[in-house]
Amino acid sequence: MTYKNILSAAVLSAGLAASIAMPAAAEEKTDFQIAWSIYVGWMPWGYLGESGIMDKWADEYGITVEIVQFNDYVESINQYTAGAFDGVSATNMDTLSIPSGSGVDTTALIVGDYSNGNDAVILKGEGTLEDLAGKSVNLVELSVSHYLLARGLDSVGLSEPDLDGVVNTSDADMIAAYATNDVEALVTWNPLVSEIVTNNPDANVLFDSSMIPGEILDLMVVNTETLADNPAFGKAVAGAWYEVMSLMAAGDEDVLTAMAEASGTDLEGFKAQLAATEMFFDPAAAVAQASSPELPTTMTTIAEFLYDKGILGEGAPSADFIGIEYPDGTITGEAGNVKLRFDATYMQMAADGAL
Amino acid sequence: MRLINQIPSRPSAIMLATIPFFLLLIAYVVGSEIRLAANPQDKLLPALNTIGSTAQRLFFEPDRRSNEILLWKDTFASLIRLSMGVGISALISLILGMVIGLLPIARSSLSSFVSILSMVPPLALLPILFIIFGLGELSKVVLIIIGITPFMTRDLSQRVLDIPTEQLIKAQTIGASSLVIALRVALPQILPRLIANVRLSLGSAWLFLIAAEAVASNVGLGYRIFLVRRYLAMDVILTYVIWITVLAFAVDWVLKTISRKAFPWMEAGL
C-alpha cells in the first residue's frame, strides 16, 4: 500500500468519524428529539408522546417533536450532552454535573416537580441518623441519593468520613441488595423505596426528601442555543406538558392508569408515589419554584457538594466556576461561564394562556 | 501470482499491522478536534493530550480525598478477583473435564447437564447470586466462575474424548489403572489445552468481572468506570479502558509464554 493510499484511507475514515462526532448544531430547524426515563415525575412525558398530545402541539407550531424513552437514566443525560438529543428529563443536580459541567449551555424549560419523600435513607432495624456512624451505606454513588445522605448526615452533625463508607450499588439491584445480610443501610428512590418499606417490616426510613423540600427538582432541560433559535420548540413542549398536567390535576383516571401501567405499577401504587412528589400542575406554581429566592442557595449547596465529591472534574478550579442564571437575571457562580439557566418564560406563557 | 500466495515481507508486514491502529487514531483525533472546536469543554472525545495528563494523574498522583493512588488500588482489587475466579474455574473445569471425558458413567450423568448449564446467561441470575453469596467479594468471584466454567468444562471434556483410543488401550495392555491413565496419559495432553482455554476465557472473565463490579462495589476497575460515567469523565474511562487492554494483553502473553516453555511439543497458536 502506498503512502497516498494510506492517506486517502485515513481521510475517508476521518470523514466517517467526523460525521458521527458532529454535535447537534443549533440553528433553525423543524425536527426535535427529547429523551426521558422512567420516574414518577417524568411519566407524563411518556403519556404525552403516546397519546398524541405532543404531536397535536407540535403540528400547531409546524414542527415535530419525537419523545424517546431510555431505560438508563444516566445514559439519556450523556446522550443529550453528546448532542444526540435536544432535551432530556433530569434532576437539577445531574443537569449541573453532566451537561453544564461538560460545557453544554442548558436551560431548564420546565420545572416539573420536586421530590417530597420520593428519595429516602433506609436503615435495617431500629435507629436514628446518628446510628449510621460506622456503618456502610449502599447507594448509587454521586446521584441525588448521595446528596440526600450528605444532607441528612449534615443535619445531625455527621459527614461521610464518619461512615464505614458508601458502596456503589446499581438501582436495578437495590431490592435484591436489601435482602442480603451485608447491607445495613441504603439510600434510594421510588418506586424502590415503597417496594422495600412495604415488603420489609424492619425497614426504617431515617430521612427523606420531604425534609429538604424544593432541593431535588425534576426538570425538562433543553439546549439553550436550540431553544433560542427555535422558540416554537419551547412553546410546543410547554403547551403539551401543561395540557397533560391539567388532565392529571383533574384526576383523569384513564391518564393516570396509563402512566401507572407504563411505570410498572397500578393506579393505587402510582397515586402513592405521586403523593410523595410535589407536582407543579399549575404553571404558575412552577414559575414560583423557578423564581424562588431559595433556589440560588440550593444550587450553591449542590455545586459545593459536587465539587467536594470531585464530580465537577479535577480541572474545576472551585465550586462556583459554573455560572447559574435565575429567571430574574441574577447569577450565582462564575458570570462569564453561565451554563445552566432557569428560564420561566415558557412556563409563564402557559400560566398566561399565551400558548 | 495468486492472491493467497502473496506473502508480505517483514517490513511491510509490520506496516500492515500498524495501519488499523493508525486509522483508528486518526479517526479519533479528527472526531475529537471537531467536537472540541464546537465546545472546548466537551468531555465525550477528549483530546489526546488531555487523556495523557489524566493518565499521568491517575497512575502517579494520589487522590486528593483519600490520599491513595486509586488506579493501583482498583487494579489490585480487580486482578485478585479475576485470578481467583479464573483459577478456580480452571481447576473445576480440569477435574470435571477429565472425569466426563474418561468415565462413561460420569459422561452419562454430567455431560448434558454441563452443556445446558453453559447456555444459561449468568448475568440474568445476579439477584439470586447476591442473596446466596452476599454483596462482597465472593459473589463477584462466583459470577466469573459460573460464567466461564461450563464452557471450559465442555471444551476440556471434548479434548479428553479426542485422545486416540489406541493410546488408552495401549496403556491398559501394560497394566495401567484408570487413575494412572488419567494422570499419565490424559493429563499431560490436557494441560496445554487448559492454558489455551484460560486464554480464550479471559475475555469473558473480564466482562463478568466488570459487570459484577458495576452492580455493587467500592473498589475495582469496573467500579471506577461506571462511577465516573455519571459525570461523563471520558478521559478517565478511556485511560482505564486502555489500561485494561494492556493488562489483558500482558496476562495473555504470560500464559502463552508459559504454555510454550512448559509444553514445547504443543505448538502454541496465535
CB contact under 8 A, B130 and A177: yes
A151 and A284 fall within a common domain: no
CA distance B12 to chain A (A): 9
- Please give the grid coordinates belonging to residue A103: 460545557
B199 and B79 inside one domain: yes
Together in a domain, A256 and A202: no
Domain-located, residue A3: no
Q: What residues in B contact A106, CB-CB < 8 Å?
A: none
- The pLDDT value recorded for residue A308 is 86
Q: Which of A159, A191, A211 is the last residue of a domain?
A: A211
Q: How do the pLDDT tens digits run along chain B, 270 residues long?
A: 899 998 999 999 999 999 999 999 999 999 999 999 988 888 889 999 999 999 998 999 887 767 789 899 999 999 999 999 999 999 999 999 999 999 999 999 998 999 999 898 988 888 788 888 888 889 899 999 999 999 999 999 999 999 999 999 999 999 999 999 999 999 999 999 999 999 999 999 999 999 889 888 889 999 999 888 888 888 999 999 999 999 999 999 999 999 888 888 776 554
Rounded to the nearest angstrom, the minimum Cα separation between A239 and chain B is 31
Does A22 lie at the interface with B, CB-CB under 8 angstroms? yes
pLDDT tens readout for residues A279-331: 999 999 999 999 999 999 999 999 999 988 877 766 677 888 899 999 999 99
User: B39 and B74 share a domain?
Assistant: no
Co-location of B79 and B31 in the same domain: no
Angle value at C-alpha B159, between B158 and B164, nearest 5 degrees: 110
Residue B61 and residue B43: Cα distance in Å, rounded? 21
Whether residue A177 and residue B135 make contact (CB cut-off 8 A), yes or no, is yes
Question: Residues 261-320, chain A: which have Cβ within 8 Å of B?
Answer: 310-314
pLDDT of amino acid B270: 47
| Domain membership flag for residue A303 | yes
Regarding beta strands A331-332 and A165-169, do their DSSP bridges make them parallel or antiparallel, or are they unpaired? unpaired
Residue A32 lies in a domain: yes
Q: B145 and B28 in one domain?
A: no
Residue A81: its chain B contacts at CB < 8 A?
A: 43-44, 232
Are A195 and A175 in contact, with CB atoms under 8 Å apart? yes
From residue A104, alpha-carbon distances to A72, A82, A253, B98 in Å are 20, 9, 39, 59
My answer on whether B182 and B245 are in the same domain is: yes
Does residue B235 form part of some domain?
A: yes
Peptide bond into A191 cis (omega under 30): yes
B133 in a structural domain: yes
Q: Judge if A30 and A152 occupy the same domain.
A: no
State whether residue A102 sits within 8 Å of chain B by CB. Answer: yes
Residues A189, A228, single domain; the answer is no
Closest CA to B141 of B129, B151, B131: B129
The alpha carbon of B45 is separated from its chain's Cα centroid by a whole number of angstroms, namely: 27
Same-domain pairing of B234 and B129: yes
Helix axes A345-352, A283-290, angle to 10 degrees: 150
Whole-angstrom distance, CA of residue B124 vs CA of residue B211: 11
Which of B59, B230, B234 should one mutate to test binding to chain A, selecting the residue with the greatest count of A CBs within 10 A?
Answer: B230
Q: What are phi and psi of A230, to 5 degrees?
A: -135, 75
Residue A19 has pLDDT above 70, yes or no: no
Shared domain check, A105 and A184: no
Instruction: Check: CB of residue B204 under 8 Å from CB of residue B122.
Output: no
What confidence score (pLDDT) does residue A1 get?
42
Does A132 share its domain with A274?
no
Sign of CA dihedral B167, B172, B176, B178: positive
The verdict on B39 and B128 lying in the same domain is no
Chain A residue closest in CA terms to B41? A103
In this structure, what C-alpha cell is assigned to residue B244? 485494561
Structure-model confidence comparison of residues A8 and B240, the more confident one: B240
| Domains identified in chain A, total number | 2
Portion of chain A with pLDDT greater than 70, in percent: 92
Rounded distance between C-alpha atoms, residue A139 and residue A168, angstroms:
5
DSSP state of A133: T
Interchain CB distance below 8 Å, B32 and A183: no
Residues A200 and A52 in one domain: no
Residues B92 and B220 grouped into a single domain: yes
Residues of B in contact with A175 (CB under 8 A): 127
Nearest by CB: B57 against A173, A183, A314? A314
Judge if A29 and A60 occupy the same domain.
Answer: yes
- Give the CATH number of the domain where residue B82 resides: 1.10.3720.10
User: Do B176 and B152 contact (CB within 8 A), yes or no?
Assistant: no
Which residue among A78, A104, A180 places its CB closest to the CB of B135?
A180
- Same-domain pairing of A131 and A104: no
Q: CA quadruple A213, A216, A220, A221: dihedral positive or negative?
A: positive
The count of domains in chain B is: 2
Residue A205 within a domain: yes
Q: Do A223 and A26 touch, CB atoms closer than 8 A?
A: yes
Q: Are residues B170 and B99 in the same domain?
A: yes
Clarify whether residues A58 and A175 are in a common domain. no
- Confirm whether B254 is domain-assigned: yes
CB burial string B114-127: b at 16+ within 10 A, e below: beebbeeebeeebb
A13 interaction partners in chain B (CB closer than 8 Å)? 23-24, 26-27
What span, in angstroms and rounded, lies between the C-alpha atoms of B172 and B168? Answer: 6
Give me the pLDDT at residue B127, please: 79
Cα A297 to Cα A20, A301, A302, A331, B159: the distances in Å are 39, 6, 9, 11, 69
Give the model confidence (pLDDT) of A105-132 as tens digits: 999 999 999 999 999 999 999 999 999 9
Q: Could you give the CA distance from residue B45 to residue B234 in angstroms, rounded to a whole number? A: 7
A179 touches chain B (CB under 8 A): yes
**Residues A175 and A225 grouped into a single domain:** no
A16 found inside a domain: no
Q: Are residues B14 and B78 in the same domain?
A: no
> For residue A70, is it within any domain?
yes
Q: What is the CATH number of the domain that holds A65?
A: 3.40.190.10
Q: Identify how many contiguous H helices and E strands chain A contains and give both numbers.
A: 15, 14
CA–centroid distance for A38 within its chain: 11
Establish if A177 belongs to a structural domain.
Answer: yes
Dihedrals phi, psi of B256, to nearest 5 degrees: -65, -45
- Residues spanned by the domain of A197: 119-211
Domain boundary among A211, A242, A257: A211
CA of B92 to nearest chain A CA: how many angstroms apart? 27
Asked whether this complex has an ipTM greater than 0.85, the answer is no
**Together in a domain, B94 and B33:** no
- All residues at 6 or more sequence positions from B143 whose CB lies less than 8 Å from its CB, including other chains: B85, B122, B123, B126, B129, B208, B209, B211, B212
| β-bridge partners, A35 | A68, A88
Q: Residue A166 region, left (φ>0) first, then alpha (ψ -120 to 50), else beta?
A: beta
| Other beta carbons less than 10 A from residue A160's beta carbon | 17
Q: How would you label A165-196 residue by residue, b for 16+ Cβ within 10 Å and e otherwise?
A: ebbbbbeebbbbbbebebbbbbbbbbbbbbbb
Average pLDDT, chain A: 89
Does B53 fall in a domain? no
Q: Are A58 and A34 in contact (CB under 8 A)?
A: no
pLDDT at A265: 84
Mutate to test the interface with B, among A2, A137, A182 (most CBs of B within 10 A): A182
Half-sphere exposure (Cβ direction) of B119: Cα atoms closer than 13 Å: 5
Q: Among residues A97, A112, A75, which one has the least CA distance to residue A302?
A: A97
Of A45-49, A217-221, A332-336, B124-128, which gets the smallest average pLDDT? B124-128
Cβ atoms of B170 and B184 closer than 8 Å: no
B266: cell is 504443543
Same domain assignment for residues A228 and A125: no
Interface test mutation site (partner B, options A168, A225, A321, max chain B beta carbons within 10 A)? A168
Q: Which residue, A187, A211, A235, sits at the end of a domain?
A: A211
Cα(B269)–Cα(B266) distance, integer angstroms: 9
Asked whether residue B54 is domain-assigned, the answer is: no
A109: phi > 0 → left, psi -120 to 50 → alpha, else beta; which?
Answer: alpha
How far apart, in whole angstroms, are the C-alpha atoms of residue A193 and residue A207?
Answer: 12
Alpha helices in chain A (DSSP H): 3-21, 43-50, 53-60, 73-82, 92-95, 144-155, 174-178, 192-199, 224-229, 231-249, 253-262, 267-275, 283-290, 295-308, 345-352
Task: Please enumerate in sequence order all residues whose Cβ is within 8 A of that of A338, keeping only pairs 6 or more positions apart, or say none.
Answer: A105, A322, A323, A324, A325, A331
CA-based radius of gyration for chain B: 23
Which one of A102, A140, A223 makes the best mutation probe of the B interface by having the most chain B beta carbons within 10 Å? A102
Query: Which is more confident, B130 or A152?
Result: A152
| Beta strands, E only, chain B | 216-217
Domain that holds residue B25: 3-45
Q: Residues B213, B221: contact at Cβ < 8 Å?
A: yes
Angle between the A53-60 and A231-249 helix axes, to the nearest 10 degrees? 140
Q: How many CB pairs under 8 A join A and B?
A: 131
Burial A268-299 (b: 16+ CB within 10 A, else e): ebbebbbebbbbbbbbebbbebbbbeebbebb
Q: Is residue B245 part of a domain?
A: yes
Average pLDDT over residues A168-187: 89
Distance CA A240, CA A37 (A): 18
| Contact status of A13 with chain B (Cβ, < 8 Å) | yes
pLDDT digits (tens, 9 = 90+) for A264-276: 888 998 998 899 9
φ/ψ of A284, rounded to 5, equals -65, -35
A10 domain residue, yes or no = no
On whether residue B84 sits in a domain, the answer given is yes
Question: CB of B52 within 8 A of CB of B111?
Answer: no
Q: Which amino acid is at B46?
A: P
